[in-house]
Amino acid sequence: MTKSSTGASLGTKTKNQLIERFLKKKATSGGMDTPQPAARTVSRSSVPEAFTRFDRHPGYEKMMVPKAAADRLGLRNPFFIAHDGVAGAVTRINGREYINFSSYNYLGLAGHPRVNKAAKDAIDRYGTSASASRLVAGERPVQRELEEALAAHYAVDDCILFVSGHATNVTTIGYLFGPRDLVIHDALIHNSVIEGIKLAGSVRRSFPHNDVDALDAILGEIRGQFERVLVVVEGLYSMDGDIPDLPRLIDIKTRHKALLMVDEAHSLGVLGDKGSGLHEHFGVPGTAVDIWMGTLSKTLAGCGGFIAGERALVEHLKYAAPGFVYSVGMAPPLAAASLEALRIMYAEPERVARLHERAGQFLTLARQAGIDTGFSQGYAVIPTIVGNSLKAAKIFNQLFENGINVQPIIYPAVEERAARLRFFVSCQHTEAQIVMAVSALEKSN
DSSP for 265-279, please give it: TTTTTTSSTTS--HH
Residue 27: phi and psi, rounded to 5, are -65, -40
Is the CB of residue 229 less than 8 Å from the CB of residue 249? Answer: no
Q: What is the pLDDT along the chain (445 residues), one digit of tens a residue?
A: 344 444 444 555 655 555 555 445 444 444 444 455 566 666 777 888 889 899 889 888 887 877 777 777 777 888 888 999 998 999 999 999 999 999 999 999 999 999 999 999 999 999 999 999 999 999 999 999 999 999 999 999 999 999 999 999 999 999 999 999 999 999 999 999 999 999 999 999 999 999 999 999 999 999 999 999 999 999 999 999 999 999 999 999 999 999 999 999 999 999 999 999 999 999 999 999 999 999 999 999 999 999 999 999 999 999 999 999 999 999 999 999 999 999 999 999 999 999 999 999 999 999 999 999 999 999 999 999 999 988 999 999 999 999 999 999 988 788 889 999 999 999 999 999 999 999 999 998 7
CA-nearest of 104, 37, 116 to 428 is 104
CA-nearest of 74, 71, 76 to 11 is 71
Domains and CATH numbers, the chain: 1-30+47-74 (no CATH), 90-106+349-444 (3.90.1150.10), 113-347 (3.40.640.10)
Active-site residues: which are they? 238, 266, 298
